[in-house]
Structure 1
Amino acid sequence: MSFKIRFGQQGYHFADLKTLLAKASPARSGDYLAGLAATSHEERVAAQWALADLPLRHFLNELLIPYESDEITRLIVDSHDLVAFAPVAHLTVGGFRDWLLSDAADTAAITALAPGLMPEMVAAVSKLMRVQDLIVVAKKCEVITYFRNTIGLNGHFSTRLQPNHPTDNEAGIAASLIDGLLYASGDAVIGINPASDNTQTVGRLLGLLDEFIQRFEIPTQACVLTHVSTTLELMNRGAPVDLVFQSIAGSEAANSSFGINISMLREAHNAAQALGRGTVGNNVMYFETGQGSALSANAHHGVDQQTIETRAYGLARAFSPLLVNTVVGFIGPEYLYNGKQIIRAGLEDHFCGKLLGLPMGCDICYTNHAEADQDDMDMLLVQFALAGGSFIMGVPGGDDIMLNYQSTSFHDALAIRRLLKLPPAPEFFHWLKNTDIMDAEGNLLCGPHLPAVFAKALNFAEASHGQ
């Protein structure tokens, strides 16, 4: 179906739904690179105007990527809940925006609606929203998940402790791990990006994290962010796997470039659940995404990068993950050119994921060749926290020495927790108080002296894992 609209003295024509969505998207370098973006501000506003008048039901009839050739499309269509969709089925995209901003759209109503929303509907409404709107609506969403603690409760703010090392040195990892825990980081997950993806290295790192967590009775979960096939092999060997990690994208072809499909994810999900390693729940999947991944794989099917990113969330929610995060500025300025585009994309991704029922975090980050700096990241950090974001990264010094990009530090998370009075996950917070790392008000107690538990931890790192 084509769309025509007269805007001012100019008439505009959009050949189909994916063209309309692309032209309505806020400006970003990836869509210009793909030749999909609006050619002027006037054309963008005209597309947004036409999109606002489009009935939500239209998304049930015009698919962006054919059902027959894409398993993500099939998953989205086959899992769509018409009963849950009914309360908003009569609305246009613009009417849906108005409803989301109204008092009628409270936490309970949005939670009930989530199974009735297709990712493309959610991407569409985000294109009509100001930054303020994205924050206000996302704040209403509460998505709670469980493994060894409880993630996503309103009034709490979690972190992934990211103790990466360029040679996977265990003593270096342990030092970063202890440093992060002393700053109350790590309740979402202690997650290592390994420098090497071979099973021996990954198995060794899994053992290190598991031994540390068990010895010091830390109510959190571990993950080595390796390919799902490596994790499957290690589970078959009896390795201590808490969470299964995988990067995912919004088309079958893009996921094929990652070497994955839905069947493989389902196999890993079932295997991890069968291990039963959670204590308060059994959400076992950890997914990462990022705008631009499908375009970089030449697997975007002419769909704008924000819409196809939201389709990845449609895949993620089929597995009830513990954690999902958009690594928003990691892919580079070819896709998100500057701080303004990164900030907008991070808030869009969070909004879309939360509206679809996902526990959304954000790696608030940028590469050194992007037109962005730490001030931009501070802006996104504060806005993301105000929007009710579930978790961020905790990287020593905010500078990942293995992945070579800039992210958020332990100090950044601590600043947000103090500023907005947001403690960590309840079980983890209880452990921090019992180990004299934090007091009941969330203040650090360590000062110049290590708590006894971490004096032992340093001995553990030195004696058991090298120099």
Structure 2
Amino acid sequence: MFRSRIGNFQFQFPDLKTLLAKASPLRSGDQLANVAAESGQERVAAQFCLADLPLDHFLKEEILPSETDEVSALIQKQFDPVAFQKISHLTVGSLRDWILSEDCKTEDLTAVRYGLTPEMVAAVSKIMALQDLILAGKKCRVVTAFRNTIGLENRLSVRLQPNHPTDDSAGVAASILDGLLLGAGDAVIGINPATDNLPTSRKLLHLMDSIRTKYEMPVQTCVLSHVTTSMELMNENAPLDLVFQSIGGTQKLNESFGINLSLLKEAYEQALSLKRYTVGNNVMYFETGQGSALSANAHFGIDQQTLETRAYAVAREFSPLLVNTVVGFIGPEYLFNGKQIIRAGLEDHFCGKILGLPMGVDICYTNHADADADDMDMLLTLLGVAGCNYIMGIPGSDDVMLSYQSTSFHDALYLRQSLGLKPAPEFEAWLQKMGITKENHLPATNFDSTKLLSSFSGGFHE
């Protein structure tokens, strides 16, 4: 039992799960799940109580039993007691103070990654202001590689997302051309197929690989099909670079996605065996998002932000090239407005980074949410300052297949130019060789795109 007093009001929290939920900043998903604080006073009381909680308490009380949940069991397995020794004397509040102190450097945060559990990280994020999340996220650096290197200092990569409502090859190719000419694609050229089946996924993989090889681009490609589809494609020797899968923070949620840890391990090992990489062997791509556990009735009374952070334990088990939180995609039932989306995006970025993940953010909202492009510009800029590894690049920021609003190729250019950021070094060199960019800026009217245009308009054999 945890107790805290605010003025004349005494508050009690029966267990760690309840304390974490009540301390979480307001969001509609927790209200929908009936786990949110009932008042501002209760939320502040829970945050005070959480700040005074010793970190070693998280090793004594599980919020979801490891005997019945393989994600909890994985969290126990990943925990490194030697790494924990450096911070074992701290409370949640003093952990925040240490992270934000000038004495705490990037290498210090790297050293304690596996001494932190997702629940500890979720807890400290709940008592952080937005500026705390930005500063702490910027201190964390996670570098990964496949055909190029992502996450280096003063670099920002972009996932080129050329989705099409009918998976039409000409439409997809046109979007890829648009993105390349605007300096996008170094994180991945990744397509969400309108139809997740073998023929469609195979067609799209061959399309992207033919473009990549024709122009000798140091990039990786991905069709965001279910992991089992990717495994079948690998069995058929399709040109698959990255294995994609949506993941979550409970075993029941992952089962609703049709996956478990054993299946992910099999896919991971299969992708490694292909050896399609050149400069690094990170072969997995995961997506997450606050609210998915509640939507699958797999939340067990745990708040959505803590469950999101638990999903990062699943991701880091497989050394992914990319992880991104699709922060406003599920809708206002879970993140009601721009204010909640901005907070959640910064939380997810910090929590993933400090646990050792190469975090990107799909800065987005659905059309029925109380949010707009101004909110996305704000989150985009804040994440750029926080050192986000990559963002999405979508033609006009409007995904015509998934029907949601995200960030555009021009948004990425704005962020790179305003903050002095560059693409991945191998991709930057390719852009300059092709004459697309010069010193990280789009060229004036002297760039001749005729050859690229004629090649793309001529189509590619599937």
The two structures have a TM-score, normalised by structure 1, of 0.98
The answer to whether the 8 Å contact 1:147/1:281 transfers is yes
Task: Tell me how large the CA RMSD over aligned residues is.
Answer: 1.0
- Counterpart AA for 1:415: Y
User: In structure 2, how many angstroms separate the alpha carbons of the residues matched to 1:451 and 1:429?
Assistant: 17
1:402-441 deviation line (CA, Å, top 9, x unaligned):
000000000000011110110100000000000000002x
1:212-260 deviation line (CA, Å, top 9, x unaligned):
1011101000000000000001101111110000000000000000000
1:331-353 deviation line (CA, Å, top 9, x unaligned):
00000000000000000000000
The answer to whether the 8 Å contact 1:182/1:446 transfers is no
The answer to whether the 8 Å contact 1:165/1:401 transfers is yes
SS where residue 85 of structure 2 aligns?
Answer: helix
The answer to whether the 8 Å contact 2:207/2:461 transfers is no
The answer to whether the 8 Å contact 1:435/1:453 transfers is no
Residue equivalent to 2:135: 136
Structural mapping, 1:454-465, within 5 Å? 454-461=452-459, 464=461
Residue equivalent to 1:249: 248
Identity rate, percent: 62
Structural mapping, 1:45-444, within 5 Å? 45-440=44-439, 442-444=440-442
Q: CA deviation at 1:6?
A: 1.8
User: In structure 2, how many angstroms separate the alpha carbons of the residues matched to 1:212 and 1:401?
Assistant: 22
| Gap runs ≥5 in structure 1 | none
User: In structure 1, how many angstroms separate the alpha carbons of the residues matched to 2:316 and 2:221?
Assistant: 21
Query: CA, structure 1 residues 448+174, in 2 after alignment: closer, same or farther (shift >3 Å)?
Result: farther
Q: CA deviation at 1:457?
A: 2.9
Residue 447 of structure 1 pairs with residue 450 of structure 2: no
User: In structure 2, how many angstroms separate the alpha carbons of the residues matched to 1:14 and 1:75?
Assistant: 27
- Counterpart AA for 2:109: I
Q: CA deviation at 1:5?
A: 1.6
Q: CA deviation at 1:103?
A: 1.5
Q: CA deviation at 1:448?
A: 7.4
Post-superposition, which runs of at least 4 consecutive aligned residues in structure 1 deviate over 6 A?
none
Q: CA deviation at 1:455?
A: 3.4
- Counterpart AA for 2:426: E
- Counterpart AA for 2:442: L
The answer to whether the 8 Å contact 2:155/2:422 transfers is yes
- Counterpart AA for 2:149: T
1:303-332 deviation line (CA, Å, top 9, x unaligned):
000000000001100001000000000000
- Counterpart AA for 1:139: K
Q: CA deviation at 1:458?
A: 2.2
User: In structure 1, how many angstroms separate the alpha carbons of the residues matched to 2:444 and 2:183?
Assistant: 11
User: In structure 2, how many angstroms separate the alpha carbons of the residues matched to 1:425 and 1:151?
Assistant: 6
Query: CA, structure 1 residues 301+140, in 2 after alignment: closer, same or farther (shift >3 Å)?
Result: same
SS where residue 326 of structure 1 aligns?
Answer: strand
1:23-81 deviation line (CA, Å, top 9, x unaligned):
00000000000000001000000000000000000111100100100000000001101
The answer to whether the 8 Å contact 1:216/1:453 transfers is no
Q: CA deviation at 1:105?
A: 1.4
SS where residue 362 of structure 1 aligns?
Answer: strand
How many residues align? The count is 462
1:361-410 deviation line (CA, Å, top 9, x unaligned):
00000000000000000000000000000000000000000000000000
User: In structure 2, how many angstroms separate the alpha carbons of the residues matched to 1:460 and 1:11?
Assistant: 72
Q: CA deviation at 1:446?
A: 5.9
SS where residue 402 of structure 1 aligns?
Answer: coil
SS where residue 68 of structure 1 aligns?
Answer: coil
1:284-314 deviation line (CA, Å, top 9, x unaligned):
0000000000000000011000000000001
1:123-156 deviation line (CA, Å, top 9, x unaligned):
0000000000000011011100010000000100
SS where residue 63 of structure 1 aligns?
Answer: coil
Q: CA deviation at 1:451?
A: 3.1
| Gap runs ≥5 in structure 2 | none
